[in-house]
Amino acid sequence: MNSVSFPAAAVSAAPSSSSSSSNCLTRSSGALFPCSHNLRFLPGLSRSCSSKVGIRCTYARTGMQEDIDPGTIDVKADVRTERIVVLGGSGFVGSAICKAAVSKGIEVISLSRSGRPSYTGSWVDQVTWKSGRDFQAVLFLPGDVFYANWDEVLLGATAVVSTLGGFGSEEQMQRINGEANVVAVNAAKDYGIPKFILISVHDYNLPPFLLQSGYFTGKRKAESEVLSKYPSSGVVLRPAFIYGKRKVDGFEIPLDLVGEPLERVLRATENFTKPLSSIPASDLLLAPPVSVDDVAYAVINAVGEDDFFGIFTIDQIKEAAAAVKA
């Protein structure tokens, strides 16, 4: 350790180099709001850190000089980088999460059936892309988490984000939306991962008999597993229709051309349409779409905030995203 020499007055007056202002979120009635603290932690860093400091002070008086070495002050440093695993990271929502995480200095590993996506971008090169085929030469069913070598994926991770889900037969939807996520939650818990974040779905105020489809029952099964295994750190995001530029087989589908103006219209008229929300299935028409970027930044907020847990609605997703973008 090196010692440095400062005038005594400078030592006593110098501000701490580790302190600055920051924003965090506090919960009120299920929503999150910014608050101020004296410390700021970058998204890529843990909240508990310290440093090792060695100081030698020199005191000067008229006609005499005196060197006093009170010894070094050692505070052990414990700084770690956030490292997230995104399940389905090469998909529409997953790739947006990977991109947002990279922009915030978070280390990202993506696990998906296809591995590295075919499209390019500077952020793509900063993600570790793994496919199911990296682990076993088998015929993969939807939800390759069933065959993953978790030792190669989860070690060192601070959070797991699952975007797993899809449509198909009842059996397929139960497996993709439910069982695959349950396997992932239990694997994360077994490896001591402190946080699990699930991208689920808004229920659209549907009547109970319509919520019995494999898509919704699978999603709710996954939600229950997250909240039971991670009661004080599990996160479930329930967006409605997610819009953005979706890439499929080399083609870009501009879902934002429909979703963005529709969101604006529905939010501008929500005071008039709110009385209709009690009508079953009304949210199929009235639930505002959500930008894929808002979903991604809400995830980043969840990764960085210990007090961010539970089920989050459409409006709460947007609030959480805005806090990160600000």
Task: Tell me the two tokens of residue 187.
Answer: 């694997």
Question: What are 112-164's pLDDT values in tens digits?
Answer: 876 666 666 666 666 665 655 454 332 222 336 888 888 888 988 999 999 99
- What pLDDT does residue 18 have? 40
Report how far apart, in Å, the C-alpha atoms of 127 and of each of 104, 114, 295 are.
Answer: 13, 14, 19
Supply the mean pLDDT for the chain: 76
Question: What are 193-223's pLDDT values in tens digits?
Answer: 999 999 999 999 898 888 888 999 999 999 9
Q: Is the pLDDT of residue 93 over 60?
A: yes
Percent of the chain with pLDDT over 70: 66
Any idea where the domains of the chain sit in the sequence? 4-68, 83-325
Predicted confidence band of residue 76 (pLDDT cuts 50, 70, 90)? very low
What are the helix (H) ranges across the chain?
8-13, 92-103, 150-154, 170-173, 180-190, 214-229, 256-268, 270-273, 283-286, 292-304, 314-325
Which single residue is written with the structure tokens 């990279």?
102
Residue type, 32: L
Q: Considering only residues 120 and 71, tell me which one the structure prediction assigns the higher pLDDT.
A: 120
Q: Is the pLDDT of residue 229 over 90?
A: yes
- What pLDDT does residue 91 have? 87
Cβ atoms 245, 254 nearer than 8 A: yes
Angle at 156 between CA 151 and CA 161, to 5 degrees: 85
Report how far apart, in Å, the C-alpha atoms of 300 and of each of 31, 95, 103, 121, 295 are.
Answer: 16, 13, 10, 20, 9
> For domain 83-325, which CATH number applies: 3.40.50.720, 3.20.20.140, 1.10.3720.10, 3.90.230.10?
3.40.50.720
Residue type, 146: F
Q: Considering only residues 213 and 10, tell me which one the structure prediction assigns the higher pLDDT.
A: 213
- Nearest CA to 96 out of 322, 296, 299 is that of 296
- What pLDDT does residue 237 have? 98
Angle at 156 between CA 155 and CA 160, to 5 degrees: 80
Q: Considering only residues 305 and 6, tell me which one the structure prediction assigns the higher pLDDT.
A: 305
- What pLDDT does residue 210 have? 84
Got the DSSP string for 172-216? HHIIIIIIHHHHHHHHHHHTT-S-EEEE----TT--GGGGGSHHH
Cβ atoms 295, 239 nearer than 8 A: yes
- What pLDDT does residue 32 have? 45
